[in-house]
Structure 1
Amino acid sequence: MAKKKIIVWALFDSGNGCYTQAAKAFPQMRVYPIGIDIEQKNRHFIPLDLADYSRLFGDHTLFRTLDRLPKPDVILASPPCESWSLASGMKNGNACWRQLKPTPAHFRIRMRADYNSRFNYDRSFLNRVNGELCIYNTIEIIKRYQPKVYIIENPAFGRIWDYIEHILGFSIPFDNLTFYSDYGFFVKKPTKFKSNIPLRLSRQGLPSKVIWAKFKGDYNERSNIPLSLLREIYPQIIQHLQDSKNDNDTKEII
């Protein structure tokens, strides 16, 4: 009898599909990439708007589509980081959020009067709404389908983490900090793979080869995750699932 596949839902893996690419080295895993491609270059994924809010109006396409998929053992998610990023820094926050001190939970929506020529109010407004909906739906998907393992990837110092914990009230136990430069990426890019399991990842923090602000790559290229990093994560997921299964088998025998 063939061994049961590990079912992985890869949310937002609709650009260059790094989660899907890296999983090819692990035949025991079956990946379902889900999302939309902002550049409209790829077709390898299940097209689904993960910023969808149409269930507010009685349209449950998002969860009806997901309900038809095999139940996930693992959910991986890389929601868009633009609205949370320090790269769009402004006084007391960034281009989307005004964040008051000292409490991280003090998020305030930016007023139009806050903006200057560097940032566009309308684009920032839409980025903020999209960012909130994407992470809200990500957490709701995790809660609804209860995977054995979930991992959310985003820049280490982005405001998304405070938002998840303090606004959405969802606690993620393990930070799993690493640096993309340790895995051959051209910029240092400190990143967290926050998860319900601990991951052993490099924290050396090799220096960047180029300045991020001067990198001219397209959206998908800038969103890439080093495949060597993912190939380090996947065996740890597999081992965790196997250890959990062995523990359950032992308990049944006892």
Structure 2
Amino acid sequence: MHPCDETDRRLQRVFDLVEEYISGSCTVETMAREACYSLFHFIRIFTRASLYSPYEYLIRRRVASAMGRVFREEMRITDAAFEYGFDSVEGFSRAVKRCCGRSPSQLTPEILFYLPSPWSVPRLETYRRVCQGSEICAWDEPGVGRWWGDGAGEKGGGEDCAPGPASKQIRAIAFEYLGQQGFGCLLSLREAEEVVSHAIGSILPNRTGRAISPGAPHPDSQNLFKVLLTHEACARRTEEMI
């Protein structure tokens, strides 16, 4: 496991900042200052390290938090819009439609599966490995994928250490990617579960027992995002859209 480096630590501070000021006072500029990077450098690093640009992540987290309150607490859409820092209900509706494909009143609670839950260093590391196709199997084994925030060793130390199995993080990334590509309102949750399960099964194949050089692509691994989009359900919905 590659240790948590300084960039990861800075990005974790940014993720924490977004959650602390999710109501709207957080901006991309304040995110960059928290990470101690110039704005240009921060946008480049954040976009390369995660599934999102900083602005997209910020907006999607605000939409996810607001719609979560609407569904779980029956908060009015108007109240949710202002609670999470949107200047108007119209502005909130535009943001929701851009992120989810439909207006707030047309959405169901299932859409929350496609919006980002808070990112953290374990998800950054899993995303990195998914994109590289490297050592995905090993990363999902028991005792691997733990993160203490102190650069500790690969395998771990006790039941009180927070486990970070890759499959859990990959599942979140897969759903978020489907939402990002506009499938949140096109696939039923049952269809999406099938698509995601198939994709995870493809990139977490049975161990072959072959030695793999550190950082080298696993010979059986596939690209998660390609597997998702070429699944029969996604391909069919794409044809319907065209």
Report the TM-score when normalising by structure 1. 0.30
Report the TM-score when normalising by structure 2. 0.31
More strand by share: 1
More helix by share: 2
